[in-house]
């Protein structure tokens, strides 16, 4: 069983912000698998799917970005899932806008949500799918940038990136090796 977690902030005012790329991609995963976020548990909105005869949990934490790890830790415990079967999707300022990068493990970089996930789970050994959000044309403090709305002219680029991230997460959850998925989706 896999757990796919899309990081973001739960309020509607954050819906179209850069920091909600993970939420959007998790929604894409659910839509592609024909399921909806129907329940709230473990401090997250949760959708359940069946993928190749295995249960798949798709989650959007309601803890706000900086405390995302609390929800992830609770989900892993409730579903008795090893961190090796955790996939976290999130925005990444360290990547150019619209780029998707998949890694089987690694540090949190500049991302507070990932710092929380690593601190709560006690490991860096889980798959992460990062959606690049850095725009060289915008020069505002990082905290203001990640909470700002995606510009209309970039909307399609980010929708495409979230769709690619969702497809990559589904491929991994279906059992494709992360290295192969990296080859197919990084870029």
- For 15, the token pair is 């819906």
Q: Which residues contact 36 (CB under 8 A, 6 or more apart)?
A: 30, 47
Token pair, residue 99, equals: 């780029």
How many angstroms separate the Cα of 124 from the Cα of each of 39, 60, 85, 86, 186? 28, 20, 12, 11, 20
- Residues β-bridged to residue 149: 17
**Which pair of structure tokens corresponds to residue 2?**
């896999």
Which whole-number Å values give the CA distances from 68 to 7, 9, 73, 99, 175, in the listed order? 7, 9, 9, 23, 25
19 included as an active-site residue? yes
**Which one of the listed residues 8, 10, 19, 132 is annotated catalytic?**
19
Cα–Cα nearest to 6, from 125, 155, 162: 162
Task: Please give the Cα distance from 7 to 2 (Å, whole number).
Answer: 16
Question: Which residues are known catalytic residues?
Answer: 19
């Amino acid at each position: 069983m896999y757990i796919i977690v899309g990081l973001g902030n739960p309020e509607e005012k954050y819906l179209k912000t850069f920091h909600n790329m993970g939420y959007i991609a998790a929604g894409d995963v659910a839509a592609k698998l024909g399921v909806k976020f129907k329940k709230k548990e473990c401090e997250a909105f949760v959708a359940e799917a069946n993928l190749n005869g295995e249960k798949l949990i798709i989650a959007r934490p309601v803890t706000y970005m900086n405390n995302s790890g609390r929800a992830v830790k609770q989900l892993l415990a409730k579903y008795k899932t090893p961190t090796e079967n955790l996939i976290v999707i999130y925005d990444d300022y360290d990547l150019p806008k619209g780029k998707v990068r998949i890694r089987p493990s690694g540090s949190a970089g500049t991302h507070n949500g990932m710092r929380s996930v690593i601190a709560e789970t006690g490991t860096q050994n889980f798959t992460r799918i990062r959606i690049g959000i850095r725009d060289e044309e915008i020069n505002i403090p990082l905290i203001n940038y990640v909470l700002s709305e995606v510009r209309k002219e970039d909307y399609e680029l980010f929708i495409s990136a979230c769709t690619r991230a969702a497809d990559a997460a589904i491929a991994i959850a279906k059992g494709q090796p992360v290295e192969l998925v990296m080859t197919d989706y990084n870029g």
